[in-house]
Amino acid sequence: MSWMDLPLKKRIKIAKKISITLKRKGIRPPSNKGKSFSKEHVNKIIEAKRKNGSLYHTPERTKKIQKARKVFYDKVGRKSKLVDRLKRTKKYRKWRIGVFERDNYTCVKCGKSGGYIEADHIIPKAYLIKLCDNNYSKCLKFKPLWSIDNGRTLCKKCHRETPTFGNGKYGNNKK
């Protein structure tokens, strides 16, 4: 039986044993690090991947993938890109730190201090953004969104238990 006739798992197991034995004897096994493939070999790899369909997609396949993604995200729902943009603003960071400092970096539900804490909007952020017509500039000027009185400090566990966490998608907070 030749080396290539052995199953892959068996070959890997044997290769590891050989490598460990060589290391114990102080012999360093050869490494392919830093070595580059010849142009012929690279072309063979590319051709094999093209035949497999793993390198490039045809325009028809690309359209099919895009359509499938659109259907999936329409069904599951998208996270608003506007929310991500707002979270990267100085105003949001200032609001978040203001909420933490007001609550002395302590969870208002269980009283846990230290560890991982989160700033939670009491009136849901998604609802407030809808009131701004999903407009970025309107959201930046909309005072209730940035009011420290509309925020509270929660630990991760208590935040997950709120009915509005993740737009109510999680089963543990449905009543």
Is residue 133 a part of any domain in this protein? Answer: yes
Whether the model pTM is above 0.85: no
pLDDT higher than 50, residue 172: no
The per-residue pLDDT for range 19-46, each reduced to its tens digit, is: 778 777 777 766 666 678 888 988 888 7
Range of the domain at 139: 81-164
Is the residue at 85 inside a domain?
yes
Q: What is the pLDDT of residue 54?
A: 63
**Residue 67 forms part of a structural domain:** no
Phi, psi for 142 (deg, rounded to 5): -80, 105
Nearest CA-CA partner of 113 in 105, 123, 121: 105
Quick one: which of 14, 30, 138 has its CA closest to 85? 138
- When divided into structural domains, the chain yields a total of 1
Q: Which residue shows structure tokens 């208590």?
A: 158
Decide if 165 contacts 173 (C-beta within 8 A): yes
